[in-house]
Chain A
Amino acid sequence: QKEVEQDPGPLSVPEGAIVSLNCTYSNSAFQYFMWYRQYSRKGPELLMYTYSSGNKEDGRFTAQVDKSSKYISLFIRDSQPSDSATYLCAMSPSSGTYKYIFGTGTRLKVLA
């Protein structure tokens, strides 16, 4: 079993829909959680990071962490065709840790 599980999709939604992307993890030591967006043939781009449990909002994006369930989510409101990309979750046990564990990524397609 992988430390971080993420549904690879693809997930297709109509423009304007609310998108929910999720990851589960097994290591209870994880405290730092990040979401990256990766366009085809490009490097990942940091979208959001959160520490411990709770919610964080940035524009159309909301990240949620539920440490009791070992479950994190990224919500995208008013989705746009330009949001079509692969979304990767990543996590680490502490800020001093030098490496992240990534999920496999969920491919999202927003249809115009």
Chain B
Amino acid sequence: DTGVSQDPRHKITKRGQNVTFRCDPISEHNRLYWYRQTLGQGPEFLTYFQNEAQLEKSRLLSDRFSAERPKGSFSTLEIQRTEQGDSAMYLCASTPGEAGFGYTFGSGTRLTVV
């Protein structure tokens, strides 16, 4: 296992279109996180899964955003009716259990909404 994998690496979409990103965590990690990072800022928490259960969602995650983690394996993040303000790097991370030992992040999906 080579780490957290995210696909695609870069997505350019027109305003109003729907996009979906995929994250494959490290296989033995039961916790999976989504963060968003805009230029010049640190990552901001979006949502968190323990196995297949989505346990927390940030207020940053509007109704246009939905995340799933079927069967506790890979996760998808979908953005409906994209807006220019959604342009950001979407980062996925995973941990084997407690978060006190640091996340392993993927390389991110960079979304550009034109």
Contacts and interface: CB of A to CB of B under 8 A. Distances in A.
Partners in one complex: yes
Given A43-B91, A46-B103, A99 B33 contact: yes
Given A42-B108, A102-B43, A95 B99 contact: yes
Interface in B38-68: 40-45, 48, 50, 55-56
Contacts of B101: 49, 95
Interface of A: 4, 6, 8, 32, 34, 36, 41-46, 49, 51, 88, 90, 92, 94-100, 102-105
Interface residues of B, number: 28
B100 A49 contact: yes
Contacts, number: 73
Contact of B45 (A42, A46, A100, A105): A100
Kindly name the residue among B42, B91, B104, B107 whose own CB sees the greatest number of chain A CB atoms within 10 A.
Answer: B42
B100 A92 contact: yes
Q: Which 4 A-B pairs have the closest CB atoms?
A: A95-B100, A102-B42, A43-B105, A46-B102
